Amino acid sequence: MADLAIDSQHGASGAHDEHATSTGLPNTKLAMWMFLASECMLFGALISTYVLYRGSSQTGPYPADVYDIPYTSVSSFVLLASSLTMVLALASAQKRDIVRMRLWLLATAMLGLTFVGGQVYEFTSFYDEGLSISTNLFGSTFYVLTGFHGVHVTVGILMLLSLVGFSTADRLPDDAAFPVEMVGLYWHFVDIVWIIIFTVVYLIPSPAPAPA
């Protein structure tokens, strides 16, 4: 059998350097899925830690004292909407409609910024109510979990804005759909992680506080 990966001529579109592979699938996309699989491990650890220490705090504030479910629900809708604008950006890229692709990418980045801004506001209000990362087990596990997620969203926003920048500078390959799809996979993953966090952290009520 020939080498696992051999050089080949670029596609007819003259697009990015995608070599022939033994799987017949782009290695970049396989690597992205492997990366997302590894991210399941990371967020699995953080979510499990939160669940493990639920109701174990000896002092307040407790989740019921600080959570604002209507506010967080709006944030969840915003992140869900950003997933829609992301796939619409991909659909535009596949149709080679670059102007619409940029608009949808910018809309996705703006919705992401709204979500992160909402998270910063939420963290600030929780802190004002006396919940810091070192106040109790709830504070530690909550800030680490949602903070990691917020950092992931921020990285996603930077990637989206980079795509817009590269596109404006005409530095994207002719087939812009591929990089948009890769960034989109990451963005949707951040969304599915939030789906789990919203349910486990916010909606499922914590047990009564442990007696001191």
Partner 1 sequence: MSDIETPFQQELGARDLADPREAEATHHEHPSAKEYIRIALILAVLTALEVATYYIDVGPLLVPTLFGLAVVKFALVVMWFMHLKFDSPTYARFFLMGLAGAATLYLIVLITFRVFLVE
Tokens of 114: 């709204």
Interface with partner 1 by CB under 8 A: which range of 70-78, 115-123, 131-139, 149-157? 70-78
Q: Which residues pair with 6 in a beta bridge?
A: 20
Count CB atoms within 10 A of the CB of residue 99.
9
Q: Which of 14, 17, 34, 125 binds partner 1 (CB under 8 A)?
A: 34
Burial status of residue 201 (CB atoms within 10 A of its CB: 0-12, 13-18, 19 or more): buried
Tokens of 183: 């960034």
Is residue 4 involved in binding partner 1 (CB under 8 A)? yes
Cβ neighbours around 39 below 10 Å, total: 15
Residue 158 touching partner 1 (CB under 8 A): no
Instruction: Determine if 210 is a binding residue for partner 1 (CB under 8 A).
Output: no
| Footprint of partner 1 on 73-92 (CB under 8 A) | 73, 76-77, 80-81, 83-84, 86-88, 90-91
DSSP-derived letter for residue 11 is P
CA 209, CA 212: separation in Å to the nearest integer?
A: 9
How far apart CA 22 and CA 206 sit, in angstroms, is: 49
Under the binding rule (CB under 8 A), the answer on residue 64 touching partner 1 is: no
Chosen residue from 45, 64, 120, 158 binding partner 1 by CB under 8 A = 45
Q: Where on the chain is the footprint of partner 1 (CB under 8 A)?
A: 1-4, 6, 8, 11, 15, 18-27, 29-30, 33-34, 36-41, 43-45, 47-48, 51-52, 54, 69-70, 73, 76-77, 80-81, 83-84, 86-88, 90-91, 94, 181, 184-185, 188-189, 191-192, 195-196, 198-199, 203-205
